[in-house]
Amino acid sequence: SQQGEEDPQALSIQEGENATMNCSYKTSINNLQWYRQNSGRGLVHLILIRSNEREKHSGRLRVTLDTSKKSSSLLITASRAADTASYFCATDATQGAQKLVFGQGTRLTINP
């Protein structure tokens, strides 16, 4: 299985601090994606990084990808209470229609 493993499983920080979540996976991939999920509802796509990219930014989000270590990290800077959610990495090794395999997720709590 190429299922990703994420750490930490849970992270609690103060508002304004930075939050870093890590993801490891097992097989070669086309891309790696990060999603956010609030309160067990739908997932929201945050960012996609292709296998030939090493770093990507989107607003307060910074994602890195190290294919040699089969790992990725998601950094959220200047956290806000609204960032409280579960964050999942998902790997895609397919062509065309994708077969996303999700990591176990990190539960992030931002304390005001």
Partner 1 sequence: DTEVTQTPKHLVMGMTNKKSLKCEQHMGHRAMYWYKQKAKKPPELMFVYSYEKLSINESVPSRFSPECPNSSLLNLHLHALQPEDSALYLCASSRMALGQNEAFFGQGTRLTVV
Residues lying near partner 1 in the complex (CB under 8 A): 3, 30-31, 33, 35, 40-45, 48, 50, 88, 92, 95-105
18 or 99: whose CB is closer to partner 1?
99
96 or 112: whose CB is closer to partner 1?
96
CA dihedral 83, 84, 85, 86 (to 10 degrees): 100
The nearest distance, CB 102 to partner 1, in angstroms, is: 4
The nearest distance, CB 23 to partner 1, in angstroms, is: 11
CA dihedral 23, 27, 33, 34 (to 10 degrees): -20
**Structure tokens given for 39:** 């309160």
